[in-house]
Structures are given as structure tokens and as C-alpha cells.
Structure 1
């Protein structure tokens, strides 16, 4: 397990070749994959460690003592391997505190992870519309009847609620600005 946390992928592979139990858990219910994802590393060795553990059969649906599956950890740390974890478990899965991977990514400002999770959750459209009044270059509201509508998913709405709770609306303003190339005023939920 220590080799996984320290991103020694060759040692992880060697240990697995010699009978190490990939399903072993520590006192907090974490597997080697949980530990590797929780180190927050952004190196090539990290990616190889994660991919080795996945290819060798790590259980991506196993929750630790805090109810977190690997998707929670990858979202929280903005792990580059998030994409390969999506689809192996429910994207809306909640940890012991009721937080989804999308909420965790948003709370840490992991914009790429937020974008990936929203993209994969888009099939779950709600009937709600989120409107952002457009702003001109001087940051003054233009015609307030001119609004940019965005159909939102359940995931997006939950994360938006989480962002308001955490006072992190800048996460969504940044995300929407980068995607739509607009500046937005305070959102109006109708």
C-alpha cells in the first residue's frame, strides 16, 4: 500500500505479480487505489500507478470508512485519471456526508474535474433553467431581459447549491466564462 501512495508503480506491479492482495484495505477502509488517488500527485509516475492498479483489477466501487469511492478522491484532487474512473460507479454517488464527486471537485476549485463530471452527467436534465444576465466590458448589466439560458443537470444544481453554501460561486463563474466566453453577473434561478 505504501508503494501505491508513493507512486512507485513498478514496485506495485512487482508486488501484485508476487501475490499481493489488490483488495486489501487499511484501518480506514482504503485500498491501494484509494491511497494512490489521495496523494494528490500530478506526475507521470502517479498516472502509471493509478493505471496499473486499475488494469490489475482494483475494485473501483469499494467505499472507504468515509463512504468515498475512488471517483470521490479523483474529483477532490482533480486527478488526471478521473475520466477512466467515470462509468465504473454511479456519478451521483454520495459519501457518508452526502457529498457527490461533483460537489467535492467544486469545493476544491477543480474546474477540469467539474467540467468532466458535468459532461458525463448531462443525460439527467431537470426542468430547471439557470439564467445569467450578460455583462458588457465595463461590468455593468446590459438589458436585464437579455439572459443566457443554461439547461442544468441534477449534478450541476447540487454543486451550485454546494458552491453557494461554501461561498464559492467563483468556481461556476470561471467555468461558465471559460466555456461560453461570456462574463456573467449574479445568477438568477427561476
Structure 2
């Protein structure tokens, strides 16, 4: 139905709606109609505006907004998709006019780190390359725990991805929420090839996490002899202490894993078997308290002082008795007899 002329009620063909802010899922449209009918009398007499959207398949227009406002935001759209809209202006007597059609496309969906993290976790090299080449995601974007894609790849043992990410500028020394970097994580996981590669890229075994632990501490916790030996050969300090408990790597073995192979590796590299932590405890004391029988025997064989006392005058056998470490007590007695 075409517009008719009824004095001042005459409607002119409106301009197409103006495109405002556009995102990957919304388009802002606004219009400015100069007419004495726009705000004349009661709201019943005001001009009525409708935004109609074309169906891409049927090419039929449907109303998505109707009212007296001079703007409308179309939401829930698909990213990178074309859309066509037109404005319909209706006067108080029912006459109406359509504007020319305006065409606009939504933007591409902003790439979040989730997609990159997922691709790295799945060791999907092609997908990682695709994401990085598009350039919409920072290579060091962290997840909710502060892990970067490089950390995930290093921990997972994905050398090709580690190389790919560093080639795209990934920071080998960036840390997560607990202060650990990719080098520490791969040392703990035992991926020697990545350990060696990250060192070449500038990773330092002197970096510390929030507990003051170094890559050597984490390699020892992981129990990976090849990594530990390589770090030793690379010049990593053997008796470096954390800043929380003043534990050396040997002390951590005594407290956590009791791994005699790791302890022997450290001792043969020069680790002090009689070092003391912040509370004055030695590795032998800590191994006794944690009931690591084989490690207790090894430490004694390698020169650990069995007669040392705490600042309160407590001996190691006293500790073993207090914590009911009967097997450890037997070891002390056996080795004492052997030394006679």
C-alpha cells in the first residue's frame, strides 16, 4: 500500500536506517525522521517505526521491531554473516512507507584463548597453526589457572607445538598462578627433549616459583633421572634451597618421594647429606619422619650424621620412636652393629 496525501499527514519515503555499532552477534540501527507527526498529540498519533529483516532463504521480510523508538539493536546474530534490513514508517491514519534496504555484515567472532588451549591440549598442530596465523589470539594468553599454551604443550610433551609456539613469540619465562614456568613444568613431567629446547630458548634453571622452588626441585619431585642428570651437567645447582622451608632437592626427596635412585644421583653429584632446613632438620631426620626406609639406609651409607640432634636435643632415634617408625629403628640398630 502506497502512502497517500492527507495534508500534513503526508509521509515521505524515509532514508534507510543508519548502521551504528556492529559486533559478531549484534547490529545497532538508528533513524532520524523529521516530521510534525512524530510527536504530535497522544502516542496514538505518533509515527510508528518498524524494522524488518530479510530472510536469507525466502527473501521475505519479517518485523523484528515495532514501536516509537528511533533506534534498535538486533541481537543474537551469527558472526561473519550478511543481513538486510529496511525501515517501515507508519502514520496515524495507517499510511506507511518503506525505506531502501541497508545491507550489513556482522564481524568475525573474537577468538578467545579457549580454542587455542583446546587445540594445544589435543596436540592438534594444524588447528594451532590456523589459530596463530589468523592473529586474533595472543600466543601467551593464559587460561583461568594462568597456564599459557606453551605451558600446556611443555607439560604434555608436545615438542613440535613447543617449537611452533616459541617461533610465534611465546615467552618461555612466563609464569602461571603458582609462579611456575614452562621449564619447571616440563622438568616435572620429564620431557628431556623439551627441557633441552627451552634452555636453548632462554629458560633459566635459576627461576623460582612462589614457594621458591627451582626447576631442579620440580625435576626431583617428578623423579626423572635423565632430566635431573642433564640439569646437573648443565650446571644447575645441587643444593639450592627453596625460600619457604629452605629445602634442597635432596630434602624434598626425603620428605616427599623417598626415591633412592634420585637421591643417589644428587648425592653423587655433590649434594650435602647433612644440610639443614629452616627448622634445623636434616634429610635423614625428614626421611625418618616420613618412614622412607630405603632412603634412610642410603643416607646413612653416604655419610648422614646419625648422632645429630635438633635444637631441642631430640635425636633421630628419638624421632623414630615418637612416630613409631619401628622399621627405621631396626635399620639404625643394624647399621650401628655393622659399624662396630
TM-score after normalising by structure 2: 0.40
Instruction: Report how far residue 175 of structure 1 moved.
Output: 7.2
Which residue matches 2:194? Answer: 81
Q: In structure 1, how many angstroms separate the alpha carbons of the residues matched to 2:212 and 2:260?
A: 20
Structure 1 outlier segments of 4+, above 4 Å: 174-177
- Which residue among 125, 128, 145 is the counterpart of 1:9? 125
Structure 2: unaligned runs, 5 residues or longer: 1-116, 242-246, 269-296, 306-340
Which residue matches 1:112? Answer: 226
Q: In structure 2, how many angstroms separate the alpha carbons of the residues matched to 1:121 and 1:158?
A: 16
TM-score after normalising by structure 1: 0.68
Larger proportion of helix: 1
Instruction: Report how far residue 115 of structure 1 moved.
Output: 1.1
Contact 2:172/2:203 (CA < 8 Å) preserved in 1? yes
Instruction: Report how far residue 98 of structure 1 moved.
Output: 2.3
- Which residue among 142, 151, 159 is the counterpart of 2:249? 159
Q: In structure 2, how many angstroms separate the alpha carbons of the residues matched to 1:53 and 1:71?
A: 14
Q: In structure 2, how many angstroms separate the alpha carbons of the residues matched to 1:103 and 1:187?
A: 21
| Structure with bigger gyration radius | 2
Instruction: Report how far residue 82 of structure 1 moved.
Output: 0.6
Contact 2:139/2:149 (CA < 8 Å) preserved in 1? yes
Which residue matches 1:187? Answer: 302
Q: In structure 2, how many angstroms separate the alpha carbons of the residues matched to 1:89 and 1:105?
A: 14
Contact 1:107/1:168 (CA < 8 Å) preserved in 2? no
Q: In structure 2, how many angstroms separate the alpha carbons of the residues matched to 1:114 and 1:13?
A: 32
Instruction: Report how far residue 108 of structure 1 moved.
Output: 1.6
Instruction: Report how far residue 189 of structure 1 moved.
Output: 5.7
Q: In structure 1, how many angstroms separate the alpha carbons of the residues matched to 2:124 and 2:240?
A: 35
Classify the secondary structure of the residue corresponding to 1:164. Answer: helix
Q: In structure 2, how many angstroms separate the alpha carbons of the residues matched to 1:189 and 1:161?
A: 12
CA offset digits 1:37-59 (Å, max 9, x no partner)? 233x4xxxx22111111222100
Classify the secondary structure of the residue corresponding to 1:16. Answer: helix
Contact 2:120/2:161 (CA < 8 Å) preserved in 1? yes
- Between the two proteins, the alignment pairs up a number of residues equal to 150
| Alignment RMSD | 2.6
Instruction: Report how far residue 61 of structure 1 moved.
Output: 1.0
Which residue matches 1:22? Answer: 139
Q: In structure 2, how many angstroms separate the alpha carbons of the residues matched to 1:119 and 1:68?
A: 22
- Which residue among 201, 206, 213 is the counterpart of 1:99? 213
Instruction: Report how far residue 155 of structure 1 moved.
Output: 4.3
